Structure 1
Amino acid sequence: MATRHTRNKTSLGSITYADLANTFQRPGLPPVGAQYQLGQPVAPQRVSQDESARAAIYKRLSIVPTDREIPDGVADLVVGDVVERYQSLRELEKKLDAVLINKRLAAKDSSQRYERRLRTMRVWISCQSLDKDNGDTRMEDTFDFGDESGDRSYKMQIQGRLLPEDDEEAESKDKQKFSHYFQTITVTFNPPQHALPNATVPAPIQWKRPTPTQEGQFPTSPNANFDCLDIERKLEEGVQSVTVKLERADPNGRVRGKLSPALARVLDRQYEDQSGAMMGIYNYVRLKGLEQEGQPQYFRCDEALKAVFGQDSMHFTYAPEKIMENITPLPDISLPFTIRLSNPPAPPTIYDIPVLVDDPLDVFTSYFRSATNPRDQNFVKRLETIAQLDKDIALAIQGMYASKAKIDFLNQLAKEPVGFMKKWVSSQQADEAVILAEENAKGPEWSRGGQESLWASQGAKESVGLLLARTKPL
């Protein structure tokens, strides 16, 4: 029986579980002897066109207004509480943006982490005779494997269902079927104990999970998605011993197996997949302080890690390959059963087996990830509508700033025309002198001397050196 294991959810700084999972897909350095093709040279005209297009985009974005805060004093000029309501909406928008960003990052990391829980599945195996039934008693999803020689017909049923938890309703419409958790279901016929060496044994019966479509979805036909598998055959002898083998299915493609004694001693667990084992190694290295100074991609191996990797130091990129050598895939689940036809039928044989199920949070967030698919035209249209409304709000705020500046200018001019005009003309002259480079450096910082003055700064010394280094006189 596999033991329950809870993943370590401690924050690890800038490295997350998703980062380590991506390492397995891109194992770092290329293999020796890899061949690369040089790209075709790009024409200079194409380069200039691309640069012009990027410059046009940057220019267009630079003139787009981005301020969405109403200027101060507008509330005194409008009627009602429009400004207060807008500011409350802005505060709500900021809080909502922060929550959505955190939830989006958490959902993305959770989807790549692919956490699962251990649940109990109950399997019923039963058998009943079909000789007394004159009509066709087969169900729609019955598998007919031919009419072999024999006197008595029987129907064998393999039924499975997850046991409900305390916080889960017994009848759930969205629960996964029995076939979802297994790749193959094989019924193997065992030879009798006193059978001859050359005795013939019926061929095994196997159901295999169909391959998914290009979109990653599995077929929803009754033959591919079921809770009960029915098998009809002929019984050549009075009693037949069979073994039902269930091969586990992993929708995420990760191999979860039993760890070697050395790796299990380091991680303090018996069963794990490659990503979880790598995360445990990373936590162990940080806890023991085994990072190499100046080379963060390497870590030192203590006695426990030497038993796993067989080296004094190890590169994080090549650690997953060594970890896979210490993980043994779990064997198939074997359920023995004896076919015995009796009247009344014998009670079913019941087994409880552990299976890994999807995290409810991942199932819940999968809807939002599918609803925010960039390839969905409806989602793209909604984004375009929101972006256009955002631009309209920014343009309206820009118009408010211009109108507010005009109103302030006219109000000050109306209160004190002479003094305001003098200040305004003086300000315009100062701005014009700066723009035309006619300012004569009459500021207080230019007249101050000493070691802490502007003339003793490094910039002034460099400017004097550049001035003296010129070959032509000014």
Structure 2
Amino acid sequence: MNNNNSNNKPTGAPASPFPTGYPHSQMAHAIVQAQFQAQLQAHGLSFNPSAKRFPPKPPVHGGSPFKQLEAVPTGSMTARRKRQKPNEKLLPEKASAILPESALYTQLLDLEARVDAALARKRVDLQEALKSPLCVQKTLRIFVFNTFSAQNPPSWTLKIIGRVLEDGEDPDHPSLFQRPSPYPRFSAFFKRVTISLDKRLYPDSHVITWENSRSSATHEGFEVKRKGDQEFSAQIRLEMNYVPEKFMLSPALREVLGIQVDTRARIVSAIWHYVKARKLQNQSDPSFFHCDQPLQNVFGEDKVQFTMVSQKISHHLFPPQVILLEHKIVLNASSPVGSACYDVMVDVPFPIQRELSALVASVERNKEIDACDESICGIIRKIHDHRRRRAFFVGFSQSPLEFIKALVESQNKDMKILVGESGHTAHRDTNSDFFKQPWVEDAIVRFLNRKPTVGSNAPGNT
């Protein structure tokens, strides 16, 4: 290879798409500069022949822009990709023009967006419903009994247990408490349990109190164990735990609504239905309603505003009655166990609530849909790449000269950003005389003859 003749093509160099002996015009210098800068950029090198006269400005923040990119935390990049993910599924307009069949894909995206919006609304509705679950009334059977041990010293144990009865279940079956129950445990239905013993026999601990607010765990029942050999009657006080809170209605309000115990919201709703059924709403001002004689006994007025109902019924609402039980402690080892039982109506969550919770969880986590979305995004990225390659070659085929000029100008801007070259030297880079200086041919030959990196496709492999 003759290094003194710049017109000779070095051995191993790629074939040029232009005829040999192309004159040294502005076009030739532009092509040389483009190839030279592209090769430098591929090897991570930079060449600035005007550095002695025009030294480059230091970077603005004292570091390379690539270091700032590497310093971004992985979590931030992941979050950024997640935020950009919906846009990655969209086809570019230019690609849509090339692919007429993409209209069907766009329609599917619109349909998917509508389905996702509908699912999101329904999921919110279900979540709101789960916050205030529907309840059904079931029978809570309470068993009160005691056991006795004649060992020295003698002792007795009072037990209070209970279980919600299911439909069709035999409450007298021996295995009643052995089968698992889908309902809350016994202690969850009570706010406070108080057991009072005979003060003469147990002066130091005659009152035993359990409060739900002090215990996060639920229990199947309660038991009290004491030493003693004398029979007496124990008083048991059970205060129900209503969530949401329930109230007992006054006789006047009970006569109007026919309800004994209920929540404030349901009581207000019942009053509204009473007014609506009897057409007591004021026609000129719908925010008021007239009171018939039963309502006048409750409110004491002829006309009441709807927004004031909740406040005006407060003195008609009282805490619900407690459950008072009495059990005689029998000191007899042969006494029947569980012979005394009491039934109480309680509110339990609707059985479908558990299925709704599982449904909401399954909708939020769908790995199959996520995998399909990732596959679609990968295909869209490939379409983006192929469209850019196609645009590159189509642009070159339509107007090679103008295309290369625009390409060279774009690469000039990129190189100035990479090497940090100041703006006042930009006019020299775009001037074709800049590449007619004596150093250009020598720099090209030296670059083409340099030893390439192993596995690289760079020219210069002699």
1:119 aligns with 2:138: yes
- After superposition, give the CA deviation of every residue in 1:299-319 in whole Å (9 maximum; x if it has no partner): 222222212111112222321
* Pair 285,234 (structure 1): closer, same or farther in 2 beyond 3 Å: same
Give the stretch that moved more between structures: 176-185 or 283-292. Answer: 283-292
The whole-number CA distance in structure 2 between the counterparts of 1:87 and 1:284 is 51
Q: Is 2:235–2:326's contact at 8 Å kept on the other side of the alignment?
A: yes
Determine which of 100, 124, 130 is the counterpart of 2:149. Answer: 130
* Higher-RCO chain (CA-CA 8 Å, sequence separation at least 6): 2
The whole-number CA distance in structure 2 between the counterparts of 1:74 and 1:232 is 81
The aligned counterpart of 1:104 is 124
The whole-number CA distance in structure 1 between the counterparts of 2:295 and 2:126 is 31
Q: Is 1:182–1:246's contact at 8 Å kept on the other side of the alignment?
A: yes
> 1:172 Cα deviation (Å)?
4.0
* Pair 265,69 (structure 1): closer, same or farther in 2 beyond 3 Å: farther
The aligned counterpart of 1:183 is 191
Determine which of 269, 275, 282 is the counterpart of 2:259. Answer: 269
* Pair 102,343 (structure 1): closer, same or farther in 2 beyond 3 Å: closer
The aligned counterpart of 2:235 is 243
* Pair 268,125 (structure 1): closer, same or farther in 2 beyond 3 Å: closer
Q: Is 2:142–2:342's contact at 8 Å kept on the other side of the alignment?
A: yes
Q: Is 2:126–2:360's contact at 8 Å kept on the other side of the alignment?
A: no
The aligned counterpart of 2:336 is 346
The whole-number CA distance in structure 2 between the counterparts of 1:184 and 1:85 is 62
> 1:106 Cα deviation (Å)?
5.4
* Matched residue count: 295
- After superposition, give the CA deviation of every residue in 1:382-437 in whole Å (9 maximum; x if it has no partner): 9xx99x99xx89x99xx9xx99xx9xxxxxxxxxxxxxxxxxxxxxxxxxxxxxxx
| Superposition pairs of residues 11-50 of structure 1, within 5 angstroms | none
> 1:249 Cα deviation (Å)?
1.1
Q: Please list every run of 5 or more consecutive structure 1 residues that lacks an aligned counterpart in the other structure.
A: 1-63, 135-150, 192-198, 213-217, 374-378, 407-474
The whole-number CA distance in structure 2 between the counterparts of 1:115 and 1:325 is 27
1:278 aligns with 2:268: yes
- After superposition, give the CA deviation of every residue in 1:171-216 in whole Å (9 maximum; x if it has no partner): 447642211111122222368xxxxxxx67755432322537xxxx
Quote the sequence identity (%).
21
- After superposition, give the CA deviation of every residue in 1:224-270 in whole Å (9 maximum; x if it has no partner): x2113221112252x21112221111243x2x233233322332333
The aligned counterpart of 1:43 is none
- After superposition, give the CA deviation of every residue in 1:293-339 in whole Å (9 maximum; x if it has no partner): 55443322222221211111222232112223222322111222111
The whole-number CA distance in structure 2 between the counterparts of 1:295 and 1:262 is 27
> 1:92 Cα deviation (Å)?
4.9
Partner secondary structure for residue 278 of structure 1: helix
* Pair 185,367 (structure 1): closer, same or farther in 2 beyond 3 Å: farther
Q: Is 1:156–1:230's contact at 8 Å kept on the other side of the alignment?
A: yes
Between Structure 1 and Structure 2, the one with more helix by share is 2
The whole-number CA distance in structure 1 between the counterparts of 2:330 and 2:139 is 28
Determine which of 220, 231, 239 is the counterpart of 1:227. Answer: 220
The whole-number CA distance in structure 2 between the counterparts of 1:306 and 1:70 is 70
Q: Which amino acid aligns with 2:164?
A: L
The aligned counterpart of 1:155 is 157
* Pair 211,234 (structure 1): closer, same or farther in 2 beyond 3 Å: same
Q: Is 2:248–2:317's contact at 8 Å kept on the other side of the alignment?
A: yes
Q: Could you tell me the TM-score, scaled by structure 2's length?
A: 0.51
The whole-number CA distance in structure 2 between the counterparts of 1:219 and 1:110 is 21
* Pair 331,270 (structure 1): closer, same or farther in 2 beyond 3 Å: closer
Partner secondary structure for residue 318 of structure 1: helix
> 1:346 Cα deviation (Å)?
2.6
Partner secondary structure for residue 213 of structure 2: coil
Determine which of 331, 348, 370 is the counterpart of 1:357. Answer: 348
Partner secondary structure for residue 124 of structure 1: strand
The whole-number CA distance in structure 1 between the counterparts of 2:255 and 2:349 is 27
- After superposition, give the CA deviation of every residue in 1:264-290 in whole Å (9 maximum; x if it has no partner): 233233322211001111222333333
The whole-number CA distance in structure 1 between the counterparts of 2:91 and 2:284 is 47
* Pair 338,283 (structure 1): closer, same or farther in 2 beyond 3 Å: same
> 1:354 Cα deviation (Å)?
1.7
1:91 aligns with 2:111: yes
* Pair 180,369 (structure 1): closer, same or farther in 2 beyond 3 Å: farther
- After superposition, give the CA deviation of every residue in 1:15-40 in whole Å (9 maximum; x if it has no partner): xxxxxxxxxxxxxxxxxxxxxxxxxx
> Rg larger in 1 or in 2?
2
The whole-number CA distance in structure 1 between the counterparts of 2:256 and 2:120 is 37
Q: Is 2:192–2:212's contact at 8 Å kept on the other side of the alignment?
A: no
* Pair 157,273 (structure 1): closer, same or farther in 2 beyond 3 Å: same
> 1:352 Cα deviation (Å)?
2.1
RMSD over equivalenced CA pairs, Å: 5.0
Q: Which amino acid aligns with 2:330?
A: R
Q: Is 1:123–1:160's contact at 8 Å kept on the other side of the alignment?
A: yes
Q: Could you tell me the TM-score, scaled by structure 1's length?
A: 0.50
* Pair 350,309 (structure 1): closer, same or farther in 2 beyond 3 Å: same
Q: Is 1:188–1:204's contact at 8 Å kept on the other side of the alignment?
A: yes
| Superposition pairs of residues 290-309 of structure 1, within 5 angstroms | 290-293=280-283, 295-309=285-299
Q: Is 2:198–2:206's contact at 8 Å kept on the other side of the alignment?
A: no
Q: Which amino acid aligns with 1:185?
A: V
* Pair 267,364 (structure 1): closer, same or farther in 2 beyond 3 Å: farther
Q: Is 1:277–1:323's contact at 8 Å kept on the other side of the alignment?
A: no
The whole-number CA distance in structure 2 between the counterparts of 1:97 and 1:65 is 16
Give the stretch that moved more between structures: 279-288 or 152-161. Answer: 279-288
> 1:107 Cα deviation (Å)?
4.3
